[in-house]
Amino acid sequence: MKIAFVGKGGSGKTTLSSLFIRHLAASRVPVIAVDADINQHLGAALGLDEAEAAALPAMGAQLPLIKDYLRGSNPRIPSSESMIKTTPPGEGSRLLRVGEDNPVYDACVRTVDLDGTAARLMATGPFTESDLGVACYHSKVGAVELCLNHLVDGREEYVVVDMTAGSDSFASGMFTRFDMTFLVAEPTRKGVAVYRQYKEYARDFGVPLKVVGNKVQGPEDLAFLREEAGDDLLVTVGHSDWVRAMEKGRPARFDQLEEVNRQALETLHHTADAAYGRRDWERYTRQMVHFHLKNAESWGNAKTGVDLAAQVDPAFVLSEGAATPQPA
Ligand SMILES: Nc1ncnc2c1ncn2[C@@H]1O[C@H](COP(=O)(O)OP(=O)(O)OP(=O)(O)O)[C@@H](O)[C@H]1O
Ligand SMILES: [Mg+2]
């Protein structure tokens, strides 16, 4: 299952995704945590100290390796130079599974200990001022996108992505890659403005979206979110002393998390699980191709000097059965 946490800056994306990851790990569900947020804080929220977080490998720096591995023996992609972030898999491509070992995870994954259970963590790598222009930011997040587009994940195994709700994810189609998107919103005008914008894109592409209210302080906050998000409002989270203690550098064990917040995480887990039944690999593949052709036309063809539409394998449908084991 692929789950995204998006929302306004500071709304609590990293906090809630880290709690959800801890909850999954505590439930003994295999989980890969992906930090694709501009502020790279997921490692810290999962308990890494500064040195450990700084030592995380950057997926952005592994892009050549990632491309080369994923294209495998796909005859439509003769070199990794012509592979862009939206290049879809086809016959001969290597696909990724959540629980396996492969050269991409060897290069990008670090295992994080969570009270005796574990999660695997990948991070795009820190963004610099110049990344936030165009090309580089995109290519760093592009590493995540390529992995998602080559991932065949099943029920009861999770990839959780902490990411921005920025325009780049709409342009590349990354926002269509998830079984469930949790939009974290504070009960403020700005918080719900991001929700409304996301909702518009989501509606056009049938993207499942639920709102998770955060820093909700009382009945008025709750009423505000209900009014603004209607049935999309799934659950709300209030101030958490557990989170605050962690911020103070005095983390408690996860089983000490407030009962009400544990219940909220249960709700997220059930909601994510229930999305499995609505999966449609054909539509998933079609949308992948749609965004690839769009990106090819708008910048990819010019950048690579080849007709990237030729990378599309018309007969290929990504699915759990599409993964043929190949030697690494
Ligand atoms: N429910 C909560 N209880 C207590 N503190 C919280 C809660 N949610 C978020 N915070 C605190 O609010 C701050 C912002 O949260 P967080 O970093 O998770 O937001 P973000 O959306 O990931 O921000 P950014 O856009 O900077 O990545 C953090 O200091 C975090 O500890
Ligand atoms: Mg964050």
Closest CA to 48 of 64, 61, 67, 35: 35
**Counting atoms of ligand 1 from 1, which one is nearest the CA of 237?**
1
Calculate the alpha carbon distances from 185 to 12, 18, 163, 263 in Å.
Answer: 8, 16, 14, 18
Ligand 2 centroid – CA 136 distance (Å): 19
Q: 323 lies in a domain?
A: no
Q: Does residue 40 have its Cβ closer than 6 Å to ligand 1?
A: no
Question: How far is the C-alpha of 119 from the C-alpha of 75, rounded, in Å?
Answer: 35
What is the pLDDT tens value at each position of the chain, 328 positions in all? Answer: 999 999 999 999 999 999 999 999 999 999 999 999 888 999 999 999 999 999 999 998 999 999 999 999 999 999 999 999 999 999 999 999 999 999 999 999 999 999 999 999 999 988 665 555 444 445 678 999 999 999 999 999 999 999 987 777 888 899 999 999 999 999 999 999 999 999 999 999 999 999 999 999 999 999 999 999 999 999 999 999 999 999 998 999 999 999 999 999 999 999 999 999 999 999 999 999 999 999 999 999 999 999 999 999 999 999 988 755 444 4
- Beta carbons within 8 Å of 57's beta carbon, 6+ residues apart: 107, 108, 110, 123, 125
Ligand 2 centroid – CA 14 distance (Å): 4
Q: 324 lies in a domain?
A: no
Which residues are within 5 Å of ligand 2 (an ion), measured at CB? 13-14, 37, 39, 41
What residue numbers bound the domain in which 234 lies? Answer: 2-303
Q: Does residue 41 have its Cβ closer than 6 Å to ligand 1?
A: yes
The CATH number of residue 125's host domain is 3.40.50.300
Q: 321 lies in a domain?
A: no
Ligand 2 centroid – CA 320 distance (Å): 31
Q: Does residue 11 have its Cβ closer than 6 Å to ligand 1?
A: yes
The model's pTM:
0.95
Domain count, the chain: 1
Q: 308 lies in a domain?
A: no
Question: How far is the C-alpha of 124 from the C-alpha of 142, rounded, in Å?
Answer: 9
Q: Does residue 117 have its Cβ closer than 6 Å to ligand 1?
A: no
Q: 312 lies in a domain?
A: no
Q: 155 lies in a domain?
A: yes
Q: 314 lies in a domain?
A: no
Q: 18 lies in a domain?
A: yes
